[in-house]
Amino acid sequence: MNFEDLLTEQRNRHSTHIDEVGTLEMTDIMNREDQRVGRAVQKQLPNVAKAIDLAVEKFNSGGRLIYIGAGTSGRLGVIDATELKPTYGLADEEAFGIVAGGLSAMSKTIDGAEDSSKQGSEDLKAVNLTEKDIVIGITASGNTPYTNGALAYAAEVGSLRIGITCVADSPLEQVSSVVICPIVGPEVITGATLMKAGTAQKMILNMLSTGIMIKSGKVYQNLMINVVPTNAKTMQRAKRIIAAATETSTLAAERALSRTHNNVPLAIVLIETKGTIEEAKRLLDAADGHISRAVNLSDNVK
């Protein structure tokens, strides 16, 4: 496959005169193209759902979420992994991103970093990849040697491989367990895959990671319940979450939080089931940490 033949490298007929139009028309052209992204991602929802279900099984068995890519794609992976930690209370080793050229590539371009398939595999070897892990390979073209080399090594190890690309029938597909491929079409600025391709990748990463967290029991209703109260701000947030989840007062939430030593999920179950702390702990353990299941178990017992 010649690089210049890739769909992500083609010229967009809707923006060929974007340098000659007024600012409002320029932004309208970009916005109309962005609207294609949501429709393209929607067509991939079955593959996104499949990837979530496969990843949850691995994650709940101790597998790590490892994002890998080059350039914009790699940076998006690092951002997604980084945001999971404060939002869902993950440890550093549970989710992290690897970008071609190392972390210095987050803020500057490292020439040639994406061209080595061997370096992709070496970077995964360096983190002691195992068959329990989930590797999310991100590349707009599906043709990046670094990312494809990483996923090829992950296949040898037996890890789950989730490939995200915007080009159909790419080499990435051959090394992925599941491929998610929104066809967003040529970019407004030819080859600038930080635009529509980057937006599609971010949308998919949002769904993937959030879906895995929900199905792992780190969300109750639509609330992030694994927040760890470590300062005044997060303490107030924890109280608000408990009060909203249980439809009770902030004072009642504060009391439950104190009784459970700042354990938000335990405080919620304690209030919802109106039992003892030990009973709430047993229910959570029996429900594998899922608050909804724990509350349902309590109802069934009653």
The tens-digit pLDDT sequence of the chain (302 residues) is 566 668 888 899 999 999 999 999 999 999 999 999 999 999 999 999 999 999 999 999 999 999 999 999 999 999 999 999 888 989 999 999 999 998 888 888 887 788 889 999 999 999 999 999 999 999 999 999 999 999 999 999 999 999 999 999 999 999 999 999 999 999 999 989 999 999 999 999 999 999 999 999 999 999 999 887 888 888 999 999 999 999 999 999 999 999 999 999 999 999 999 989 999 999 999 999 999 999 988 776 55
> At which residue do the structure tokens 């998006």 appear?
76
Q: How far apart are CA 157 and CA 145, in angstroms?
A: 18
83 among known catalytic residues? yes
- The CA radius of gyration of the chain, in Å to the nearest whole number, is 22
Q: What is the pLDDT of residue 261?
A: 92
- The HSE-up count of residue 19 (CA atoms within 13 Å, CB side) is 3
Domains located in the chain, CATH noted:
3-215 (3.40.50.10490), 219-301 (1.10.8.1080)
Q: What is the pLDDT of residue 229?
A: 81
Q: How far is CA 2 from CA 9, 65, 170, 190, in A?
A: 10, 32, 11, 16
> At which residue do the structure tokens 């209370």 appear?
89
Tens digit of each residue's pLDDT (9 = 90 or more) over 98-131:
999 988 888 888 877 888 899 999 999 999 999 9
Contact 275, 298 (CB under 8 A): yes
Longest distance between any two alpha carbons in the chain, whole Å: 71
Q: How far apart are CA 153 and CA 137, in angstroms?
A: 12
**H-helix or E-strand spanning residue 82:** helix 71-88
Say what the pTM is. 0.91
Interhelix angle 264-273/232-246, nearest 10 degrees: 30
- In 3D space, the residue among 213, 134, 167 whose CA is nearest the CA of residue 2 turns out to be 167
Q: What is the pLDDT of residue 31?
A: 96
Give one DSSP letter per residue of 30-60, joined into a string: HHHHHHHHHHHHHTTHHHHHHHHHHHHHHHT
Q: What are phi and psi of 96, to 5 degrees?
A: -155, 160
Q: How far apart are CA 267 and CA 259, in angstroms?
A: 8
Q: How far apart are CA 288 and CA 216, in angstroms?
A: 9
3 state DSSP class of 95:
strand
Residue type, 42: Q
Interhelix angle 264-273/291-301, nearest 10 degrees: 20
The active-site residue, picked from 9, 20, 25, 114, is 114
Q: What is the pLDDT of residue 87?
A: 87
Q: How far apart are CA 261 and CA 279, in angstroms?
A: 16
Q: What is the pLDDT of residue 113?
A: 81
Q: How far apart are CA 271 and CA 240, in angstroms?
A: 14
Q: What is the pLDDT of residue 300?
A: 64
223: Cβ–Cβ under 8 A, 6 or more apart, which residues? 241, 244, 245
3-state DSSP percent of the chain in helix, strand and coil, to 5 = 60, 10, 35
Q: What is the pLDDT of residue 267?
A: 95
Reduced 3-state DSSP string for 124-181: HHCCCCCCCCEEEEECCCCCCHHHHHHHHHHHHHCCEEEEECCCCCCHHHHCCCEEEC
The active-site residue, picked from 83, 94, 173, 279, is 83
